Amino acid sequence: MIRSSAIWPAMAAALFTLAARADVVTEWNELYKALTRLQGGAPCPISRAGPMFNLAMFDAVNGIDRVENFPTSFKPYLTGLPVPFAGASREAAAAAAAHEVMASIYNLQSDELPQIGPMIHGLYAAQLDAIPDGPAKANGVAFGEAVGTAMKLWRFGDGYDGNPSYTLGGQPGDWCITPDGPFVQPFTPHWGNVTPWGLEDGHMFRPTRLTDYGSMANLLASAEYAAQINGSETIPGVKDLGARNSTTRTADQTEAAWFWANDRDGTSKPPGQLIDITLTVSAQQNLSLSQNARLFALVAMGLGDACISAWDAKYDTPIDLWRPIDAVRETLNDGNPLTISDPAWLPLNDFTPPFPAYVSGHATFAAVHASIMEQYFGTDNIPFSLESDEFKVNTSLGYPPHLTRSFSSFSQAAWENAMSRIWLGVHFYWDAMDGNTLGYQVGGYLFAHRLRPVPSGPCPADLVADSVVDDTDFVSFAVQYDAFDCRTLAMPANCSADLNGDNFVDDTDFVLFATAYEEFLCPT
């Protein structure tokens, strides 16, 4: 990967050319992709940075929206934030919040990557320079810095820097360091225990297909396992479709495999590729700053929880499944008479990612993204076209660097992304299928429970919906008062007394309720 400081001027020019056609939220996401390409690394730490700065920007922009037009705002992510001044600049607030967070995530004093500091500070300075000086700008900066600081404190001790040690199983079926490398320790085995962003816990939707077999020996002896390798009428087998010298994988499948690969340093990695789709569709839909703030916060939160959920399935169950290269070669005898070892087999990809196969992280990321995008826009059927960093970085493939693939829906792209891992030879079909299911479960839950619209209607204090605010509503309010943390409830309706939409039922809600009590006759 290119790490020379000489690349910074060209990179900055390209970045800010894009930024000039965007807004504060999309500019920081463009920078996020650029920093990922520059720094590289494992997917989960990358997926942690995205929600930190995007949720901070959402709370900064949405906090001002709540002051100026409460009915059109959304429930905040963080609680206990200060109240911004009316008229504060949303752009300044978002910029300051993102800068505060990004400056804490990345090493601004890196000798190896001296570009990082100028990239982060340079974007922030350019954004502030574009905002006229005055109270609106100053108040926006002050509020954004407060939100960014609160976000840093909120994620302090979330477990991202936990113990990464891992003990190899050493038995057939157990994940091991693969023959085609990279010969490194497994990536982030502790990540399933990192505090989620919107889920209750990392194993909330844990798939059980493998553990339902009861033991690794039972799984390896099954016909389903053999079909994952050899294929069947309903299961695409990785031994043939994912082989480097496959004669059945089509040219389009090969192109798709490389298009979605995006694993090597120098690319924006799986989270960045999905952020790229979000940027493309946001531009097509002409979203406002406030709309982008919520969209990118939801997407980034989903990608953060996708990695936590997928890594929980990879590492935190009794079965940490080996990769196809070990399964097909049978580096340890699987004992299944339906599988025939091929010691010379190689995947299409030139390396196998260093972590267990089940479930596919790519599939989980892609499905969370598709789920949130569909729910946000109210339809799955939004067409878009996309380039891939893989073709720009891995030029030996021979594809044009700006080759695009086009999709008619979010779900189509997500499923192709999932299947691409089989064509690339680094995953089994059940990795793709169950990762896709897991991603849709995570995305559905997050959209239903986080960053929701504030209570609406002429009588939000009418908790029992009988068109009047009276003693029956008071009883309902009293049951919820001082007892509900609305971030952790399964059903948002159970927090109907959260009248100000801050995720708690407390004194501020009581003041609003008292104003309405026995005074409102709600329209019927």
Q: 455-524 sits in which CATH class?
A: mainly alpha
Whether 225 and 177 have beta carbons less than 8 Å apart is answered as no
> Residue 20 corresponds to which amino acid?
A
Residues in contact with 428: Cβ distance below 8 Å, sequence separation at least 6, in sequence order: 228, 229, 238, 321, 324, 327, 357, 358, 422
359 prior amide bond cis, ω within 30: yes
Confidence of residue 505 (pLDDT cuts 50, 70, 90): confident
Using the predicted structure, report yes or no on whether residue 118 has a pLDDT greater than 90. Answer: yes
337 prior amide bond cis, ω within 30: no
Which of 281, 289, 279, 271 minimizes the C-alpha distance to 97?
A: 289
Confidence of residue 128 (pLDDT cuts 50, 70, 90): very high
What's the confidence (pLDDT) of residue 499? 82
Task: Report the alpha-carbon distance of residue 288 to residue 25 in Å, rounded.
Answer: 10
What's the confidence (pLDDT) of residue 19? 41
What average pLDDT does this structure show over 313-325? 98
Task: Report the alpha-carbon distance of residue 433 to residue 506 in Å, rounded.
Answer: 43
What average pLDDT does this structure show over 95-113? 95
Which of 55, 130, 150, 120 minimizes the C-alpha distance to 94?
A: 55
Task: Report the alpha-carbon distance of residue 274 to residue 17 in Å, rounded.
Answer: 21
What's the confidence (pLDDT) of residue 1? 28
What's the confidence (pLDDT) of residue 524? 42
What's the confidence (pLDDT) of residue 352? 97
Using the predicted structure, report yes or no on whether residue 7 has a pLDDT greater than 70. Answer: no
Using the predicted structure, report yes or no on whether residue 17 has a pLDDT greater than 60. Answer: no
Q: 5-155 sits in which CATH class?
A: mainly alpha
Give the distance from CA 424 to its chain's centroid: 22
What's the confidence (pLDDT) of residue 480? 86
Using the predicted structure, report yes or no on whether residue 463 has a pLDDT greater than 60. Answer: yes
| pTM, 2 dp | 0.88
Using the predicted structure, report yes or no on whether residue 468 has a pLDDT greater than 90. Answer: no
Share above pLDDT 70 across residues of the chain, in percent, rounded to a whole number: 92
What's the confidence (pLDDT) of residue 502? 77
Whether 89 and 136 have beta carbons less than 8 Å apart is answered as yes
Using the predicted structure, report yes or no on whether residue 24 has a pLDDT greater than 50. Answer: yes
Residue ranges, CATH 1.10.1330.10, the chain:
455-524
In which region does residue 226 sit, left (phi positive, over 0), alpha (psi from -120 to 50) or beta (all else)?
A: alpha
What's the confidence (pLDDT) of residue 14? 45
What's the confidence (pLDDT) of residue 495? 79
What does pLDDT average to over the chain?
91
CATH 1.10.606.20 corresponds to the domain 191-449: yes
Share above pLDDT 90 across residues of the chain, in percent, rounded to a whole number: 77
What's the confidence (pLDDT) of residue 59? 97
Residues 357-411: tens digit of each pLDDT? 999 999 999 999 999 999 999 999 999 999 999 999 999 999 999 999 999 999 9
Summarize the chain as % helix, strand, coil (round to 5): 55, 5, 45
What's the confidence (pLDDT) of residue 12? 45
Which of 216, 230, 225 minimizes the C-alpha distance to 320?
A: 216
Six-digit token pair at 490? Answer: 């399964």
Whether 492 and 471 have beta carbons less than 8 Å apart is answered as no
Confidence of residue 466 (pLDDT cuts 50, 70, 90): low
What average pLDDT does this structure show over 5-9? 38
Confidence of residue 274 (pLDDT cuts 50, 70, 90): very high
What's the confidence (pLDDT) of residue 22? 83
What average pLDDT does this structure show over 13-24? 56
